[in-house]
Amino acid sequence: MDVSRRQFLSIGSAGVLGGSALGFDLTESVRIKQRLRIEGATLSHSLCPYCAVGCSLIAHTKKAANGKTELLHIEGDPDSPVNEGTLCPKGATSLQLAVSRRRVPHPLYRAPGAAEWKQVSWEFALDRLARNIKASRDATFVAQDADGNVVNRCEGVAFAGGAAFSSEEGYLATKLMRGLGLVHLEQQARV
Amino acid sequence: MFARDRARAAELRERYPHAAEVFGLYLALVEAWESVGDRVPSDGAVEWAHVHVLPRVIEATAAHGPPLLAAAVRIAVGNGLLAPDARAGPPAAAKGPLGTAAGSGGGPLGTARRSAGGLLDAWLAGEELPPVERYLARATMRVVPLATPPDHEAAGAGPVRSDPRREPGRCPACGGAPQLSYRTAGDDPLVSGRRMLHCARCAHEWSFSATTCPQCGETGKRTVHAEAAEESPRGQPRVGRGSAADDALFPHLRAESCETCRGYLIDVDLGRDPRAVPHVDELAAIPIDLHMADHGYTKITPNLMGF
């Protein structure tokens, strides 16, 4: 039977060689594939929340069996003109904002004079915070300055907003603190 | 020129027994390429490759390829199926000092070859070739610079340049499809390396977006497929720098897929293995390729060995 070069090689690739297209033995590769545990992670863009630079991040996430999305890894985005894949040490650990084994999952309280921390409820902690803020404010509130001018300000409490604040959180915090009369307001993003 | 390829292929042949056959053939091809690598003429290279490289590739394949491929090539040569175009060469009067046709492929001989549908010309023209032919053409053209395809330039069209807006992942030098991607290594672990693509056609490398599909341009649905931690009960893939474990079989290899077009590429992370040679290491990723095929993904371009 006369066959052309093209016909011959076509027959070879399709029918004779088997296995891989070029006839490589795939037995061992198939065995490895079966025991290899390969999982997929989705890539998403994000921004580092820590400072005003606004470094671009790539986040790797995976949907768990329970339907929740887990954050696996964060790295600098090499395509970003802002950071070109670079992150500062703090930004490189921004994963721990969401996931950290060392995070304390409940409020702890150490009473005045006590050496040990003890676990308390959120109700207790929030109530205690509110009482202390109120007590500090009342103790250091200045209604008039030395010249008799009405100032109504609290000089005994300062507030530092976190760089992970969203704009809305920053607005809310400022409103609240100004309402208390605080004048010492700062934001970590400026530090 | 191929010293790094040779050293890496020899190393990987020992490290990955499942790919020993592949690397054995690759090393034989490296021998063939090295034997002609410094004699490639600046013009008429394709005709020269017909005469001087293809026979060596056939020889190397017949001697070191997997039995069925070697047999197929031997039978093909024995039947003269590859001979007329590949080995006859130009007539003596038309030959240059290295056996090249006078002129750069535009002479009567070159024209005759193209019209006869020669193997290399068919591959250069982007024809869909059967795997064995594609392998022979790619292995032969490995030593021929293609960034400015001679036929295209001879036609007065100038160098081929792809339009990145219309073809996001095509080679900016020759318009070819990407073979693989790799991440550059950095001294600082806090810096993510740029993503580079390696052209399957001319071996040119260029920088490309880390989160865009080179095949369809999708930017929103990218997935990285990597080995999961053995001890992890939730099967979390080891992604990102510095998280590879000692027990990982492919610590620096992973697959990057697009959920829109279902295409994927093997990605080599030089940050995890700075000694890796991406186009060599990619040949070892056969189990990952099989896994991706099982899950309905198609490699954007099969590699030289057809995976």
Interface residue B288 vs chain A (CB under 8 A): yes
Interface residue B294 vs chain A (CB under 8 A): yes
Please report, in angstroms and rounded to a whole number, the separation of the first and last CA atoms in chain A: 83
Low-confidence ranges of chain A (pLDDT < 50): 1-3, 7-18
| Three-state SS at B293 | helix
As for the ipTM of the complex, it is 0.80
Q: Do A87 and B193 touch (CB under 8 A)?
A: no
* B306 touches B135 (CB < 8 A): yes
Across the range B277-297, mean pLDDT stands at 96
**What are the backbone angles phi and psi of residue B253, rounded to the nearest 5°?**
-115, 140
- Mean pLDDT (chain A) is 87
Domain extents in chain A: 5-99, 104-138, 140-190
Q: Do B191 and A86 touch (CB under 8 A)?
A: yes
Of all residues in chain B, the one with the smallest CA distance to A64 is: B234
Across the range B126-140, mean pLDDT stands at 88
Task: Indicate whether this model's pTM tops 0.80.
Answer: no
- Pairing relationship of beta strands B298-299 and B222-227 according to DSSP bridges: unpaired
**What are the backbone angles phi and psi of residue B238, rounded to the nearest 5°?**
-85, 100
Segment 154-213 of chain B within 8 Å of chain A by CB: 186, 188, 190-195, 209-211
pLDDT in tens, B194-229: 999 999 988 899 999 999 999 999 988 889 999 887
Give burial (CB, 10 Å; 0-12/13-18/19+) of A81.
Answer: exposed
Separation CA A143–CA B116 (nearest Å): 99
Q: Do A8 and B76 touch (CB under 8 A)?
A: yes
Q: A45 to chain B: which residues are within 8 Å by CB?
A: 211
Classify residue B267 by its DSSP letter: E
Of all residues in chain A, the one with the smallest CA distance to B256 is: A40
* B89 touches B51 (CB < 8 A): yes
Q: Strands, E, within chain A: which ranges? A: 38-47, 56-63, 69-76, 108-109, 118-119, 141-144, 150-161, 182-187
CATH architecture group of domain A5-99: Single Sheet (2.20)
Q: B306 to chain A: which residues are within 8 Å by CB?
A: 20-22, 24
Please report, in angstroms and rounded to a whole number, the separation of the first and last CA atoms in chain B: 25
Q: What is the pLDDT of residue B119?
A: 81
Domains of chain B: residue spans and CATH:
2-85+115-141 (no CATH), 167-299 (3.90.1670.10)
